[in-house]
């Protein structure tokens, strides 16, 4: 890099980019967020709320790295974790024959799951993967997950996410 470069609306001069590379070499454990904050301080780069514009600085860092002008700290990123539902590998529990009328189903109940650590969470995943039209698609945002149970066995699963809470009544 031999002349100033404008990235994300900020001017990066060669001396400043050299300084950033020196910081990375001096501290190999320096995190991208910390380096982005250094950039924000040196370039007086603030968001509308007065906070350092870390996200914008990280975009500029990525552009510098792609051009070969900045050796970013840390190890290469691991493959992103999939947010798809994961099956347990177990078959679904058997359900005894059900009466034809809902009033005749004994012990009908909704079982709220306490989170991923709940022992019934894998069953909820399996029911969704095997029975829901969207299969293993994840829910977005905060969620409530229920199992529908009875004396006859587990009958189904129900999931609500934050998007559902914003919808009006539907047919």
Nearest to 153 by CA among 118, 106, 112: 106
pLDDT in tens, 2-23: 899 899 899 999 999 999 999 9
Extents of the domains making up the chain: 5-66, 79-171
pLDDT at 160: 87
What does each C-alpha distance from 22 to 17, 36, 63, 84 come to in angstroms? 9, 14, 18, 40
pTM over 0.75: no
H or E stretch at 19: helix 14-26
pLDDT at 38: 94
Q: What is the pLDDT of residue 134?
A: 84
**pLDDT band of 169, cuts 50, 70, 90:** low
Min mean pLDDT across 20-29, 59-68, 115-124, 155-164 is at 155-164
């Amino acid at each position: 890099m031999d002349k100033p470069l404008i990235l994300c609306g900020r001017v990066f001069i060669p001396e400043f980019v050299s300084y950033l590379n020196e910081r990375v070499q001096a501290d190999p454990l320096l995190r991208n967020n910390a380096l982005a904050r250094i950039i924000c301080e040196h370039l007086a780069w603030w968001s509308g709320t007065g906070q350092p514009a870390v996200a914008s600085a990280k975009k500029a860092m990525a552009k510098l790295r792609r051009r070969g002008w900045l050796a970013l700290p840390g190890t290469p990123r691991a493959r992103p974790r999939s947010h798809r539902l994961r099956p347990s590998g177990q078959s679904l529990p058997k359900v005894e024959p059900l009466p034809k009328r809902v009033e005749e189903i004994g012990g009908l109940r909704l079982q709220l799951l306490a989170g991923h650590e709940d022992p019934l969470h894998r069953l909820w995943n399996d029911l969704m993967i095997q029975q829901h039209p969207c299969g293993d698609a994840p829910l977005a945002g905060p969620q409530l997950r229920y199992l529908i149970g009875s004396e006859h066995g587990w009958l189904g699963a129900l999931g609500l996410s934050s998007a559902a809470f914003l919808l009006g009544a539907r047919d």
